[in-house]
Amino acid sequence: MAEAAFSHYEALLGTATARGHSLDLSQLIEPTDLADLDAPFSAEEIWEAVKRLPARKAPGLDGLCMLDHHQAGLLRCVPATL
């Protein structure tokens, strides 16, 4: 069975051939420092994202949509919990 699968996909993929042209991506894309992507979100960033959530979208993990949170006054607690 394994041999049949191997030969099937080997035939689909073919073999490597020499190429006449190539792309040097380092010439097309300049390097970027991505270290800040690992930084934790600030409380300000989280609060801004929460405030922008649409009111009538699907509920979150707690089963409440943002309208429910707003009406219950739960959004006032968010900055304190961050």
In a domain, 38, yes or no: no
Average pLDDT over residues 40-45: 88
- Residue 19 located in a structural domain: no
Reference 77, options 43, 41, 54, 39; nearest CA is 43
> 49-60, pLDDT tens digit by residue?
877 877 777 666
Tell me what pLDDT residue 60 has: 66
pLDDT in tens, 5-28: 888 888 777 677 788 888 888 888
Range scoring the smallest mean pLDDT among 15-19, 40-44, 45-49, 65-69: 65-69
Specify the number of domains making up the chain: 1
Instruction: List own/partner pairs for 48-56 with CB under 8 A and 24 or more apart.
Output: 50/75, 50/78, 51/75
Does a structural domain hold residue 72?
yes
What is the domain extent for residue 72? 56-82
Answer yes or no: is 70 within a domain. yes
Any domain includes 75: yes
